[in-house]
Amino acid sequence: MNHINNRRAYTTLAFASTLTLLGACSSSNDNDEDTGLSPIAQAPTPAFCETGIPPDTQTPDAAASGDGATSYSYVFTRGPMRESAQIERISLTDGNVVDGTYPATDSDHRLATDGTSIFQIGRFDIDNLTKFDAIDTSAAQYQLSLLTDEPSTTNPQSLVFVNNDFAYLTRRSSDSLLVLDPSPEPLTTEALIMGEISLAAYNRPGDEGAVDFGDMTDAILVGDKLFVLLENLDGFAPVETGYLAVIDVCTNMEIETGQGVGELQGIQLDVANPVSLHYNEATGLLYVAGRGNSFGNEAVTTDAYSGGVQSIDPDTFETALLIDDGTEADNNGFYTNLVVIDDTLGYAITFDGFDEDFNLISNLRSLNLETGEVSEPIDGTAGQILTTIALGPDNHLWVGIQDDNPGFIRVNLEDGVPAQERVRTTLIPDDVLFLEVDR
């Protein structure tokens, strides 16, 4: 593999020792003069690191319904040409209807939750984090920049919560993972960003002396380990397979998995251009979908179908390719979004090409993860523009669809059959999460 064989420079620092604060104002210290540099401070250690009691694996996709509570889905939606966007709140308790919208915004955002509030992640050229109340849709609780001293966008991607005071933010256009306090006091970028973890070992040389970052995208917390998905592209070309970097959240140090090449400590994946990371608590495994050379990059001279679905054991780091996406002569399309239901059943969006507006022409398929069998497209999904999938609290898979009647197709997990009626949204769903809220 053509990785840079540089020594791993650990700007990754332990929670229990030092963690460089980014962009903080200088303050007086024991030095004779003010250097203008950010101070070094000790970040608090998550409580479970001291008690030995692990946190919840992550905020659940869907909470069980309880007395006096309302089940909501929060959907990031956008216009057909991405000319507008907003979060739409759907009340599952009141019949799957939109009962509120949050302030309009730009189209390139994703959602996250700490189990209480809604967080909106501004991505390419937006670079901010917005916190909303789950009930009051009228205004943001805060909106803070995620830029520090970077000259341009860092393209934030995914926000993973350890607890109310600790979260991790992946950034595609950076080689460092941010450590955030999602409840900062005061409400400033300096208080929000507590530190960073370097993943510069996954950089590769770019054109004209530039550096290509590892293209970190998704991330998932399993016990006391943070798994960070890296697409590992050469420019935009998936010439090699992706990686999972594994971070010990009690030390902020990368873990040596024994599954990397050369000096890389992460897990080398079997699939190229990994785009979806999923954890199933019942099986205790991580799952990754890779889409291979789905965009037909000419720098890739091998078969475009170098993706599929694989599993990763979060304890042993062993991997297994469960679904091969085939060859140019024999395939079911490129794999994108993935949800795993149990040790045998999964669902994935596959796509075959693009329409004139560069939307993915997609199909929803069920997967037998034990035999590798892939179904024909689920009824009503063949050749559609499918945007997102998620497991809902109603024992249905929610599948976002873009057409003249945007919203969600809901697939009953008992029989694999879509419900007759869609859940309607005003704009096109791009991302969705579920939350149970006391009203």
Res. 14: pLDDT tops 80 = no
Q: Is the pLDDT of residue 137 over 70?
A: yes
- The confidence band for 273, taking pLDDT boundaries of 50, 70 and 90, is very high
Question: Tell me: the pLDDT tens digits for 72-87?
Answer: 999 999 999 999 999 9
pLDDT at 51 over 50: yes
The pLDDT tens digits for 256-272 are 999 999 999 999 999 99
390: pLDDT strictly greater than 70:
yes
Structure tokens at 234: 């050469």
What are residue 173's DSSP bridge partners?
none
CA distance 406 to 393: 21
What SS3 state is found at 279?
strand
Question: pLDDT at residue 324 above 90?
Answer: yes
- Tell whether 9 is covered by a domain: no
Q: What is the CATH number of the domain that holds 397?
A: 2.130.10.10
Range of the domain at 135: 19-47+57-438
pLDDT of residue 438: 87
For residues 66 and 168, the model is more confident at 168
Residue 12 lies in a domain: no
Can you give the pLDDT at residue 108?
97
Q: pTM of the full predicted structure?
A: 0.88
Work out how many domains the chain is built from and give that number: 1
CA dihedral 323, 328, 331, 332 (to 10 degrees): 100
Span 84-136, pLDDT tens digits: 999 999 999 999 999 999 999 999 999 999 999 999 999 999 999 999 999 99
Residue type, 342: D
List CB contacts of 110: < 8 A, sequence separation 6 or more: 76, 120, 121, 123, 157, 158, 430, 431
Give 3-state DSSP helix, strand, coil % of the chain, rounded to 5. 5, 45, 50
Rounded Cα gap, residues 113 and 83, in angstroms: 25
5 part of a folded domain: no
**What are the residues facing 366 on neighbouring strands?**
347
pLDDT of residue 209: 76
In the chain, what is the straight-line distance between the N-terminal and C-terminal CA atoms, in Å? 54
Domain contains 177:
yes
Report the share of the chain in percent with pLDDT over 70. 85
The predicted structure's pLDDT at residue 148: 80
Let me know if residue 378 belongs to a domain.
Answer: yes
Q: Is residue 162 part of a domain?
A: yes
Q: Coil, strand or helix: which one is 351?
A: strand
**Angstrom distance (rounded) from CA 149 to CA 86:** 29
In a domain, 132, yes or no: yes
Q: Report in angstroms the alpha-carbon separations of 204 from 6, 74, 156, 241.
A: 10, 37, 20, 14
Alpha-carbon gap, residue 103 to 257, rounded angstroms: 43
Burial class (CB in 10 A: 0-12, 13-18, 19+), 196: buried
Residue 13 in any domain: the answer is no
Q: Which secondary structure element, helix H or strand E, spans residue 288, and what is its range?
A: strand 285-290
Reference 125, options 104, 108, 112, 142; nearest CA is 108
